[in-house]
Structure 1
Amino acid sequence: MISSLQGTISHLGSDRLTLVVSGVGFSIQVTSRHSAKLALGQEILIQTKLVVREDDLSLFGFQTNQEAELFDLLCGVNGIGPKLAMTTLSGLTGELLVNAINSQDENAFRAIPGIGPKTAKLVLITLSGKVGLSSSVRVNENVLQAMLQLGGDELASRKLLSSLDQSLSESALLKQALAELGRSKLIS
């Protein structure tokens, strides 16, 4: 119904923003990763999904069309509503989410607050074959494996990897990940 909005950010929180479009302020829930990249007064175009409930109309905003499509897929899983779908997208980038689904990585989903073992399995069963393989799947998996072999904690390593620039080459991504690991002392 409302697929995108373009306007100026008048309020910015950790997971919500108000976007003024032609004098009307729209409250939009976003991921914490997306919010961190934005600034007050910034003019943006945001992809949106309107979720209609019996007593509520909520707008959810996304950086890319891929994130919006993944949101729809996650909401289609029994037991995952819009808020848990947003929590999942905050914890895993689109690339890592696609990778986790295609590699049947249950632990990636169990690391998300609110997703237990049964829901993680249900996500993998429901979404298996519904998302295409990402071009950087192998790169991310190789870097993650290197981080784990060096003694990195899996959850912390996944979060760190999701926060890095996914457009880097494998060697540059590994170098940046190791530098961050050294700074944050995630290696035990």
Structure 2
Amino acid sequence: MIASVRGTVQHVGLDRVVVEVGGVGMLLHTTPATASTLQLAQEALLATTLVVREDSLTLYGFATADERDVFEQVQTVSGVGPRLALAMLSVLAPDRLRSAVTSGDLATLTKVPGIGRKGAERIVLELRDKIALPSVTGSTTVAAGPSSVAAWRDQVTEALVGLGYSTKQAEEAVGSVADSAPADAEVSQMLRAALRELGR
């Protein structure tokens, strides 16, 4: 298993990045929040997991080892694959996801595009007694830098649309959080704020 990747960022997309490791460009699927913290030509260290299918090998990258562990754990639930697991982490931080599962908070879980009430009930039933506590040691982190207001607005809107919200919903949520955004707002920070706004 490829547990982590360190190298120079060659490409940053909405939900994927390419990191050059030893002359090889490795494509990693990420959450929009993680992708937004990376900058071209800068070194990045991402926790990773490799998903093996009959016709593909797909590498997923995470800002912390804790996110990776939760990504792997939620896939033990029947009907939850890598794409849905990544969507869950795009909407909910690991601790928020754990809290929703252990408390049976179906309303929070159904905020994730692709999860209905029955799916949320199944996740709670299958994970409640075994969801892991956060990893305190050995986590990898990605340094985040400030973004301009125009940049984060566009990126957050695009990320929300990518998560399944309509363009109108995304723009309204971004508009609602823009007024109170700090001057040095980061994309990941504002994405979380916009998702909270949409969850009201």
- TM-score above 0.5, yes or no: yes
Q: Does 1:123 align with 2:123?
A: yes
Q: Give the 5 Å matches for 1:7-156.
A: 7-132=7-132
Q: 5+ unaligned residues in a row in structure 2: which ranges? A: 135-172, 182-192
TM-score, normalising length: structure 2 = 0.66
Structure with bigger gyration radius: 1
C-alpha distance in structure 2 between counterparts of 1:88 and 1:45, whole Å: 22
Which structure 1 residue ranges, 4+ long, deviate > 3 Å from structure 2? none
For these two proteins, the number of residue pairs brought into alignment is 144
- SS of 1:8's equivalent? strand
Tell me which amino acid in the other structure corresponds to 2:128. S
- Asked if structure 2 preserves the Cα contact closer than 8 Å seen for 1:102 and 1:133, the reply is no
C-alpha distance in structure 1 between counterparts of 2:76 and 2:130, whole Å: 11
C-alpha distance in structure 2 between counterparts of 1:81 and 1:31, whole Å: 15
Q: 5+ unaligned residues in a row in structure 1: which ranges? A: 135-155, 165-179
Task: Give, in angstroms, the shift of residue 132 of structure 1.
Answer: 4.9
- Structure-2 residue corresponding to 1:139: none
CA displacement, residues 81-104 of structure 1 (integer Å, 9 cap, x when unaligned):
001100110000111111111211
C-alpha distance in structure 2 between counterparts of 1:104 and 1:133, whole Å: 16
CA displacement, residues 110-132 of structure 1 (integer Å, 9 cap, x when unaligned):
11001111111011111102235
Higher RCO (C-alpha under 8 Å, 6+ residues apart): 2
* Percent pairwise identity: 40
Tell me which amino acid in the other structure corresponds to 2:109. F
C-alpha distance in structure 2 between counterparts of 1:132 and 1:3, whole Å: 18
C-alpha distance in structure 2 between counterparts of 1:115 and 1:58, whole Å: 22
C-alpha distance in structure 2 between counterparts of 1:96 and 1:23, whole Å: 38
Tell me which amino acid in the other structure corresponds to 2:15. D
Tell me which amino acid in the other structure corresponds to 2:120. A
